[in-house]
Amino acid sequence: MLIRIKKKSDVVSSEITSPSVYLNRRQLIAATGLAAGSMAFAGKGEPALQQGPGVNAKLENVKEGYSKLAQNDPMTSYEAAASYNNFYEFGTAKEDPVENAGNFKPKPWKVTVDGLCKLSGTFDLDEFLKPHQLEERIYRLRCVEAWSMVIPWIGISLADVVKRHEPSGDAKFIRFETIVRPEEMPGQRSRFILPWPYVEGLRMDEAMNPLSILAVGMYGETLPNQNGAPLRLMTPWKYGFKNVKSIVRISFVDKQPKNTWNEATPHEYGFYANVNPTVDHPRWSQAKERRIGDFLKRDTLMFNGYEEEVASLYAGMDLKKHY
């Protein structure tokens, strides 16, 4: 795990919550050549960034969205969010995705919507996104491995996507599937890492919750490959592994889908994966987390701090059993 001791200069950027201001600062740094200096300053083991701010396309017409939590919560640096990743299709170490995702082609991209719905088909990504408003959502991301970040995503409301594709009354869950391209994703050349494709699912009411988005960008730009370009799920009250990357298929189904980590190690990972400091992982405690960039650990909050928005979805459920 990457543990950086907070530098004095971090405090300034951490107080800025607007990505446009953040990006201006980044552009200033790039223009003055300070970026090279800060790279050289990076500690041993921190990978060199193959894609940095300003490299990916800037996203236009973005509405300011839900950012309540981030108001008192400093944002993680772009560098950390784009270089400390879990994306096993590119390898299992945190620096593997940024190092190995350079040849991945997120364009052109097609998304298939199928199953129990009226509007099914295979859509060009632009066509799929066009009816929807892009929104910025500054969310916490809490990994099941007990580290966390605060990232300004840009995406579309999943509830709006569901409504547009008109699922039938029998559709109780949504299943998401990551692309399979072993020639571009070296991790997929081994079946021993995980069963491919990576699959995740949500109950329909979870998908309809206003917090659920399909993200296409972060920090004002399209997603870097290592963060799940060009389309990924973001459900901030759940552990990070629910947020399936590089989605090619969205299916409306009647039964709870088998999700990849549950299939791989069922006694460790369930379907719901709600952030819960009172239910430990069999091998470590979930009571605390390390925010990337911080030195000291902080308490993990129930539903990652989104209790008000999502607790009612699980009323009456035994969350120790449905972990």
Instruction: For the CB of residue 191, give the shortest distance to ligand MTE in the complex, in Å.
Output: 14
Question: Distance between CA atoms of 98 and 120, rounded to whole angstroms?
Answer: 34
Instruction: For the CB of residue 131, give the shortest distance to ligand MTE in the complex, in Å.
Output: 25
Instruction: For the CB of residue 199, give the shortest distance to ligand MTE in the complex, in Å.
Output: 9
109 binds ligand MTE (CB under 6 A): no
Task: Select from 81-89, 107-115, 153-161, 274-282 the region that touches ligand MTE (CB under 6 A).
Answer: 81-89
Which residues, in sequence order, are CB contacts of 201 under 8 Å at separation 6+?
A: 173, 174, 175, 176, 253, 256, 257, 259, 271
137 binds ligand MTE (CB under 6 A): no
Q: Where are the strands (E) in the chain, listed by range?
A: 62-64, 110-115, 121-124, 134-142, 147-157, 173-178, 199-203, 213-218, 221-222, 232-234, 247-253, 288-291, 298-299
111 binds ligand MTE (CB under 6 A): no
Helices 34-41 and 19-32, axial angle in degrees (round to 10): 90
Residues 184-243 that bind ligand MTE (CB under 6 A): 198, 227-228, 240-241, 243
Residues 8-67 that bind ligand MTE (CB under 6 A): none
Which residues, in sequence order, are CB contacts of 203 under 8 Å at separation 6+?
A: 172, 173, 256, 313
**CB-nearest residue to ligand MTE:** 240
Instruction: For the CB of residue 260, give the shortest distance to ligand MTE in the complex, in Å.
Output: 8
Q: Interface with ligand MTE by CB under 6 A: which residues?
A: 85-89, 141, 143, 178, 198, 227-228, 240-241, 243-245
